[in-house]
A and B are shown apart, each in its own frame.
Chain A
Amino acid sequence: MYETNYHRASSVDDAVAQFGKGKEAKFLAGGQTLLPVMKQRLAAPSDVIDVAKIKDMVGIDVSGDTVTIKGATTHYDVAQSDAVQKAIPALAHLASMIGDPAVRYRGTIGGSLANNDPAADYPAAVLALGATIKTNKRSLAAEDFFKGLFTTALEDGEIITAVTFPIPVKAGYAKMRHPASRFALTGVFVVKTKAGDIRVAATGASQSGVIRVPAIEQALKANWSASALDSVTISASGLLADIHGSSDYRANLVKVMGQRAVTAAG
């Protein structure tokens, strides 16, 4: 790792101020992606601003029709939360499948979303549930937040302070885990909203990062069942291909994970 300066922020305002002072600063939350990348010397921030200990950045709040998870809340805390398990069990389940137990103790929802790895789990939940991403500057709809591989609408010095998820009628998540990295070879999150809409998002599949899957949405709109997807064909065009799986393989996984997610949602 190249030299860097570590700062622990006491508040969101303090974090933003510290960020402004650094030549090429980066925010650090759990560090489960940023630190490995810095160790490989693929990133060399002059300053890292630790936001994980800011009190306002940690916690889960369920009120009325929404679940709000603050930016530096760990995957472990989301997975274990009784409130999340009750309101959106698929979201708690998703958090429980990220990485391994030691990674889940450190990694955060804000960090995962800001990084926007094309095979990360949270983007699928955020897009399918139609969540709102709150930053220190504004609120962003999920559709406006994700901008492709490792790219988001976040500007320099902008921190994800919370994510608000509308509580759905039904939701399910299924993923084919890469056995070594535990990232999603493909993961699919299916949602039936209170307004009756069907929203489906896939991660790990597309060259553009997380995507909606209209073919599955239409089939489930007509008939909410795993068998409704039997006749659906997912195009391999634009899907990822690497040593772990071809685009055809991933296209099939989108369908199969979609079916498993519907079964899990009930």
Chain B
Amino acid sequence: MSTVKLTVNGRAVSVDVEDRTLLVHLLRENLNLTGTHVGCDTSQCGACVVHVDGRAVKSCTMLAGQAAGSNVTTIEGLAKGDELHPMQAAFRDNHGLQCGYCTPGMIMSAVDIVHRHGGNLDEETVRHELEGNICRCTGYHNIVKSVLDAAGRMKVAQAAE
């Protein structure tokens, strides 16, 4: 057992876990942040993607101990109170989800994509960049639409700040 200290969605937390605990299990089972999902558990599907120090990573392929001292953002940390993050709003408006299982990972990856590419996003780039996130419902069409829509909204929001 080790004590892992990290910041999750802006809150400093200290959790006692077995050393073999994966970050995703610390989030879900110790912090009850069940928005982050375990899909394939083999680092293929991306349902478990969270941001660690601003980078979108697969939390099923990282030990909790590796995240000690880091700043973690999960899907629960994106909205500002009742106001959805532009990416969340875009997924809702564009019907970017059906069953919703992959959605938290899709959104966390998509936010990272927009951060990296800024407004210079096109459909091909989004499809290529989303290759680490698997959706079995939508056929990706509306997910790609959502990401492109959100990229525009995030650009506007950034310009307004």
Contacts and interface: CB of A to CB of B under 8 A. Distances in A.
A9 B73 CA distance: 25
B3 to A, nearest CB: 12
Interface in B135-153: none
Contacts of B109: 101-102
Interface in A75-95: 76
Contacts of A32: 43, 61
B46 A102 contact: yes
A103 B65 contact: no
A163 interface: no
A100 B127 CA distance: 12
Nearest to A179: B131
Contacts of B62: 31, 35, 106
B20 A106 contact: no
Interface string A129-167: 000000000000000000000000000000000000000
A31 B63 contact: yes
A48 B42 CA distance: 19
A182 interface: yes
A3 B19 contact: yes
A121 interface: no
A50 interface: yes
A182 B132 CA distance: 10
Contacts of A182: 131
A44 B3 CA distance: 22
- Of the four ranges (under 10, 10 to 19, 20 to 34, 35 or more), the interface on chain A belongs to 20 to 34
Interface string B101-114: 00000000100110
Interface in A2-25: 2-6, 8
B65 A101 contact: no
B20 A105 contact: no
A192 to B, nearest CB: 29
Contacts of A105: 55-57
Nearest to A29: B66
B66 A52 contact: yes
Contacts of A222: none
Contacts of A52: 66
B131 A100 contact: yes
A102 B18 contact: no
A153 B63 CA distance: 28
Interface in B60-93: 61-63, 65-66, 68
Contacts of B66: 6, 8, 28, 31, 50, 52
Contacts of B68: 8
A28 B42 CA distance: 17
A103 B18 contact: no
A42 interface: no
21 contacts: A1-B22, A2-B20, A4-B19, A6-B65, A8-B66, A28-B66, A31-B61, A31-B62, A32-B43, A32-B61, A35-B63, A36-B43, A39-B41, A52-B66, A100-B46, A100-B132, A102-B56, A102-B132, A103-B43, A105-B55, A105-B57
Interface of A: 1-6, 8, 28, 31-32, 35-36, 38-39, 48, 50, 52, 76, 99-103, 105-106, 180-182
5 A-B pairs with least C-beta separation: A100-B132, A6-B65, A6-B19, A105-B55, A1-B20
